[in-house]
Structure 1
C-alpha cells in the first residue's frame, strides 16, 4: 500500500471512530509505529486531523491536556524502562554530592521513586509528586521550588518559581516534554510550565530529556528548548533508527531503553 492510500484510510478511521492510536494503526496496516507517526504528521500539517499524544483526533478537536491520573497509565512500561535507564545515567553524570533539577512529569516522578535512600544529592524540584517521593530520604537535600500550583500537573509555576530557579546552577536538569522532534524542539501545552522548563535548561550544566517515543513528532503550543540544548535523550525502543539519527545529528546522545 502506498503512503497516500494508507493516509486516506487513516482519515476514514479518525472520522468513523473519533480517535485513533499509533499502536493500533501500526498493527492494522502492518507498518512500524514511526511510519504511522509520519503519516499523522503529514495529515496534521495538512489540517486534516489533529495529532495528540499517542494518536490523532478529528481536525478542529481541542482536547484537554491530560491530567496526572491519565498520564500515569499512558505508556507505563516504557516510562518504567526510561526511568531505570535515567537513574543509571545520572549516577554517571552527577557527583556523589552533586545537584539535580527535576521538573514535573510522570516519568521524572518514576525516576525520583528509584533514587537510593542513601543518596547525598541536592535536588530542587517544582513538582509536588517528585518532592513527596523524596521527602523521607535522610541524606538527600531537597529544595521545593515555590510558585502558583498548576493543578493539572501539580507543578509550581509563574514568577516565584522563575525567581527561585534563576538562583540555581545544577549539575544536571532532568526534564519531561509533551512533544519533541528535530524541527519543533521540545514543547508543552502550557506557557507557564514552559517558562519553568526553560529556566531549568538555563540553570544546569547538562540537560537530560525523558520522553517516551509516542511523543516524537507531537507539537504543542509552547516551545521551551531545542534538541541542540539537550545532552541526552532517554526514550524507548519505539523510536526508530531514522528518527534517532536525525536527533543525534543535532547533538544529543539517544538512549533507547
Structure 2
C-alpha cells in the first residue's frame, strides 16, 4: 500500500470503527502501515471533531456518537430551524423542474412542504422517508436511487444508483451536511453515504446547501462537495460580514432565515 495522506488515513480509521466499533493503535498501525505516533495524532484530531472517543491504546465509536448521528435524533434536532430553511428553499423551486433531495432530515422537511403544494415536479432522492413522503402526490414523479440501506438512517449509500444519475438532468440539488467550511466544503459523517452524494452533486446543474447554524464552520470526516461546487447556502446561522464576503467572492449566494418564534 502506498503512502496515505492524513484525510485518507482518517477515512480508513473511521471505516474500521464503523465496522468494528473499537480499534487499537497496534491494529491500525498494521492495517494502515504508519507509525503509532502518527496515528495518535489522527485519533486526537478525530476526537476533537467529535467523531470518536480515545481509549487507552486505541479508540471507540461510542453509543453517544452513534445516537447523535442516527436519523431519528437528527430529525428532532433544531427542527424549527430546519423548517424555516425548508420554507425558504421552496422559493428556489419552479414548476416542471427535476430536483434532487438527499437523505437529510432538512431535505425531509422540504419534502413535507412539497407534499402539500400544487406543483408538478420530478424528485430524485436517496432518502427512503423522503420518497415515501412524496409518493402519493399526483403531480410528483419520485425516483429513488438504488443502493444499500443504511441501518438507522433511512438512507441509501454506495454507488449502485450512479447509473441512474447518468440518465437524468437535475436542475437543483438540495442537500444538508454534517459540516461546512471554506476549506473542506460540505462534509459528512458516513464515509459510505458520501460516495453516493458525490455522484449526486456531480450530476446536478446547481447545488444548494440547507445548513442550520450547527453545521457552519464545522468539519466532518469526508467531503462530498468542494466549495467550487456549491451555488447557494440557506441557513439560520449568524454569518459575519467577512465570511459572507468570502462566500460572495466564490459566487455562493447566502440566504439567511429566522425560525418562527412561537
TM-score, structure 2 normalization: 0.72
1:152 to 1:205, Cα distance in 2 relative to 1, 3 A: same
How many angstroms does 1:153 deviate by?
2.0
Change (3 A) 1:47 1:201: closer
Shift of 1:231: 1.0
Question: Greater CA deviation, 154-163 or 208-217?
Answer: 154-163
Shift of 1:190: 1.6
Unmatched 5+ residue regions in structure 2?
1-43, 258-262
Q: Aligned residues, how many? A: 208
* Contact 1:118-1:138 within 8 A present in 2 as well: no
Q: RMSD in angstroms over aligned alpha carbons?
A: 2.6
TM-score scaled by length of structure 1: 0.73
Deviations 1:152-205 (A, max 9, x none): 321112132222223222111111111001012110112221111111111111
Deviation at 1:246, TM superposition (A): 2.5
Q: How does 1:31-180 map to 2 (within 5 A)?
A: 50-52=48-50, 62=61, 63-64=65-66, 66-90=69-93, 94=94, 96-115=95-114, 116-180=116-180
Distance 1:216 1:193, change over 3 A: same
Query: Using the alignment, how far apart are the partners of 1:138 and 1:58 within structure 2?
Result: 51
Tell whether the 8 Å contact from 2:49 to 2:220 is kept in structure 1 after alignment.
no
Instruction: Give the SS at the match of 1:170.
Output: coil
Q: Distance in 2 between matches of 1:48 and 1:72?
A: 24
**C-alpha distance in 2 between matches for 1:47 and 1:165:** 35
Asked if the contact 2:159–2:196 (Cα under 8 Å) also holds between the matched residues in 1, the reply is no
CA spacing shift, 1:213–1:58, aligned 2, 3 Å:
farther
2:238 equivalent to 1:238:
yes
Deviating 4+ runs (over 4 angstroms)? 46-49, 56-62
Tell me the distance in 2 between the aligned counterparts of 1:195 and 1:49.
Answer: 23
Q: For residues 142 and 96 of structure 2, what CA distance do their matches in structure 1 show?
A: 12
For the residues of structure 2 that align with 1:240 and 1:181, how far apart are their CA atoms? 14
CA distance in 2, matches of 1:138, 1:70: 31
- Change over 3 Å in CA distance of 1:149–1:48 after alignment to 2: closer
After superposition, the Cα gap between the structure-2 partners of 1:48 and 1:139, relative to the gap in structure 1 and judged at 3 Å, is closer
Q: Distance in 2 between matches of 1:215 and 1:52?
A: 13
